[in-house]
A = this chain, B = another copy of it.
Amino acid sequence: MTTTLAELVQRRPSRADARRNYDSLIAAARQSFAEMGTEAPLEEIARRADVGIATLYRNFPTRETLVESVYLEEVQAVCNAAAEVAHLEPWEALLAWLRRFVTYVGTKRVLVEGLNRDSNTFKACRLGLYEAGAPLLIRAQDARLVRPDVAIDDVIRLVAGIAGIGSTTEEQRDRILAIALDGLKRAA
């Protein structure tokens, strides 16, 4: 029923030329999305990938599927970041990961939009994030530093919401994040 992240990655075509085109399309899409947002013309993407428009549509029947595929690699980067902070103290580790989450996601509009949709792929991505973040949260809760009545998906959603705030400064975002994180702390 629920697809996992790992399953999704292996949806690339098997024939050599096809796989080359597929990868080329993803690369072109990432570039275009970064430059012009998720509404970038698909024909432009196909052109950049040096591929016919039909090939794009065969691999990604809808714009959504293309967005998702780009998104997939980004989200894994955030997941991996969880491992990099594991050596820190419980609270600092959680904090560092969430901060990185906000900074990273904040610059990638694709991610922000994605985090709030409910297609299968996006659900799988959220699951991946939950798995990566849960240990950090639980460790902090076990150390009695974080209130016990919140789950990892609450935390991610909260932080994702903050990351989505646009047209503001780095400082304000930090300040707002700090407020929210204070709410996470266990009431002494």
A interface, CB within 8 angstroms of B? 116-118, 122, 147, 150, 153-154, 157-158, 160-168, 172, 175-176, 178-184, 187
- The oligomer's copy count stands at 2
CB-based contact A157/B168 at 8 Å: yes
Complex Cα gap A163–B162 (Å): 10
- Within 8 Å CB of A181, what residues of B? 183
CB distance from A25 to the nearest CB of B (A): 23
| Most chain B CB atoms below 10 A, which of A163, A178, A182 | A182
The CA-CA distance from A116 to B172 in the complex, in Å, is: 13
Closest to A178 in B: B183
Residues of chain B with a CB closer than 8 A to A147's CB: 179
Closest to A161 in B: B161
* Bound Cα distance A162, B116 (Å): 11
Contact, CB under 8 Å: B162 / A176: no
Min CB–CB distance A43 → chain B (angstroms)? 18
Q: Say yes or no: A154 contacts B167, CB within 8 Å.
A: no
> Can you name 11 A-B pairs with beta carbons within 8 Å?
A117-B167, A118-B167, A150-B179, A154-B175, A157-B168, A157-B172, A158-B179, A161-B161, A161-B162, A179-B180, A182-B187
